[in-house]
Structure 1
Amino acid sequence: MLRTMFGEPGRTDEGRVRDVLTLAEELAERYRQRRSGELAMEAQRLVAWTKSIASSFDELEQSVYCAAKYAERVRTAYVEEMGPEERADYRRHLYFYKNGFIRVFSVLDKLGSFLNDGFSLRAEQVKARYSYFTVLRCMRETRAHPELLDRLDDVKRRYREQVQDLRLMRNHEVHAINTELLDEDGRLRLRPRDRRQPVEDLRQNMETLQGGFAMVGESLHAALAYCIRQG
């Protein structure tokens, strides 16, 4: 949808995006077929979770794509040296970059809620406002669905560094200070002798965000495929 901003046709689903959206629709259809008898309410709830996860993943992909496209248009080292058009593109990059890393955790937490609900893990008894990572811990402690847990833990390990960086940025953006004023360790970028605002490392931004997006995609693929195999 957002590709029209760049004069491009709509997205053609392929690769991990296509696979995740296809699995989500297949799983939702299986739940729809259960909407009768005692399991009707549970099935309806799981359909809603599955559709919400698919929609959020689609929105995450669009944010990542737009962040990358706007990053390509930025060449200047300091914000104060930019012309109006480049500065606008830089701000658009930051908007979609922030939107992207916030959505990474939003999608993961929806996946966690889906797994908690579908597998009756009761993560809310461990932590009232539980996260995806709380759900993984519950699965580990109760030894629930070890095949899926092994797969999800493997994905988490492979993208640990990117996810940790994105979590730091998310926490600062939501709870503290604008992320473009911070370095990778959460310190203020501005120096006493140079009041110019340096441009973000856009290449690093996108590598980190792409890693988070890949982690989300692989986790969703593993979880949805597992639920389909479980019938």
Structure 2
Amino acid sequence: MVRSGCAAADNRRMTEANLNHKEKKAKSDAEQRRRIREEYEKLTVTEQPKKQMKAAKSNTNISSASKHGKVDAECVESFIEQLKAKVKSGVDYSDFQILEEDLKKDLKTVGNFRVPLRLAPIANRIKDGFDDITSGSSQSDCAAEPTYILFCAAIKEMDDLKLDQVNETKLLLWRDAINNALNLRFNVDFAIKHLFKIARAYFGFKVMEGKSGEEMLKLKNVDGNLEVPEDCLREAEYFSGKPLSTGLFL
């Protein structure tokens, strides 16, 4: 009876110890996730409340002029300035369909980070083309990983989409993902420069869309110059029918 009682007491102690261990581990994991999220939110450049950012992103008619094909140099440069602006960002995993679908699925290690499986090829192309883009960052891998994943997601969308599949809202979303990386001192200047090329191509495409050669001639003013900047038309022709990542990894 004594042995039986001791055994029962030992079992109770072991059960309690296991429960305490599981509870402490759960709290530790939750605390780590909270800390990582807080670090990420502090490091991203957000000035506007999240709801305002989401409302802005849902507005696909940022430029009514470009919507109607009325694009001039002022319109283009105004938008380029928006892309250059170091505004605070509300970009999140939920802004990228691939992350919503794949974030909790199989992960693959690329360099120092674990990324969703479908992002692994683009992460490898970035690594092969530009080495470790996070080498200049003072952040730990754990703190930098969310920004790295968002950056890869933006480049993945460039690789998947063409000119007729984007709008100003999408371009600004990519800007935010790239700016987050720049703010952590990632070596991603190549990406923001490429985004400027895409933006100019987008406006050139909006002017050219559905127009015949004769209609294009009517876009010329009395001096024989195109109202839309010539480089926009040139970039639009360069990206015509191609993924928007074209030229990025050269």
**What is the TM-score of this pair, normalised by structure 2?**
0.28
Structure index of larger Rg: 2
**What is the TM-score of this pair, normalised by structure 1?**
0.30
